[in-house]
Amino acid sequence: MNDPILRVKRLRKSYGAVHAVRGVDLDVAPAECVSIIGPNGAGKSTLFSTIAGEHRATAGTIEFKGTNITSWSAARLARHGVSRTFQVARLFSSHTVENNLTISRAVSEGRTGRFWDVLGANKATQRRVAAVTDELGLRDIAHVPAGVLPQGDRKRLELAMALVQDPEMLLLDEPTAGMSLDDTVHTIATLKRIRADHGNMTVVLTAHDMDVVFALSDRVVLMGQGEIVIEGTPSEVEQAPETRELYLGVIEP
């Protein structure tokens, strides 16, 4: 592996007596796509959210490009090249698709404050917003309030909000959660195209949908009881006896 862009060392996250993540070590190489999977209660979502700055680690460290980011907020991470999506899309419901993208871009540029100041985007921001609007096929709904969008479009907008920040590392939390089959197929194709078009971008994702995992991943990390049980290529992890033992033959959310 090349020098890792992301390095997680002896990471622990506890909630009182509940040890959700137990001393996890994980390296992710530049431009690699790593999926974190596991049954309910395995610790995958807690690990992901701690890396993403939503939770604070109880112990251990997280490094991005050699810098300790263990205590950084999600907004600070966005300013330094790490963007994320959520299992349930978090949007500014009363604002249009275009305004959501403008606000997201402003966060990555360190421009925060009153909405009307943030929305007074400069030409460079306007060009970037327009480019991502086209890239994700949002042009026809650019002036629609985010709150009225169906689930597939909401998730597509949230992905666009992450991409408009020009991340070096993209964190995707259940990117197809709640989608119809057609939307899922479309999203997988979109994510594959994004990976091809943004060849230097690193991706870390959680997913219960194995179609997503197998379509996108270079490496899969299987967790159980707060620890990494096995990691390898998608086919290696699929065929491992540890996987069958954890899932009892069924991949659960």
Q: How far is the CA of 205 from the CAs of 15, 20, 118, 142, 150, in angstroms?
A: 23, 18, 29, 27, 23
The predicted pLDDT at position 106 comes to 84
DSSP secondary structure code for residue 140 in this structure = G
What SS3 state is found at 252? coil
Task: Examine the pLDDT at 117 and tell me if it is beyond 60.
Answer: no
Task: Examine the pLDDT at 103 and tell me if it is beyond 70.
Answer: yes
Residue corresponding to tokens 């290529």: 233
For residue 14, count CB atoms less than 10 angstroms from its CB and return exposed for 0-12, middle for 13-18, buried for 19 or more: middle
Class of domain 1-81+215-253: alpha beta
Q: How far is the CA of 214 from the CAs of 36, 37, 118, 132, in angstroms?
A: 12, 12, 39, 26
Task: For residue 126, name the pLDDT band (cuts at 50, 70, 90).
Answer: confident
Condensed to tens digits (0 to 9), the pLDDT of residues 174-221 reads: 898 888 889 899 999 999 999 999 889 999 999 888 889 999 999 999
Type and span of the H or E element at 83: strand 82-84
By mean pLDDT, which of 45-49, 87-91, 232-236 is the weakest? 87-91
Task: Examine the pLDDT at 144 and tell me if it is beyond 60.
Answer: yes
Q: For the whole model, what pTM was predicted?
A: 0.89
Percent of the chain with pLDDT over 90: 62
The predicted pLDDT at position 245 comes to 85
Task: Examine the pLDDT at 114 and tell me if it is beyond 70.
Answer: no
Condensed to tens digits (0 to 9), the pLDDT of residues 55-89 reads: 999 999 999 999 999 999 988 998 899 999 876 66
Task: Examine the pLDDT at 116 and tell me if it is beyond 50.
Answer: no
pLDDT higher for 123 or 28?
28
Tell me how long the chain is: 253
Task: For residue 1, name the pLDDT band (cuts at 50, 70, 90).
Answer: low
CB-facing half-sphere around the CA of 182: CA atoms within 13 A:
3
The predicted pLDDT at position 199 comes to 87
The predicted pLDDT at position 122 comes to 72
The predicted pLDDT at position 252 comes to 43
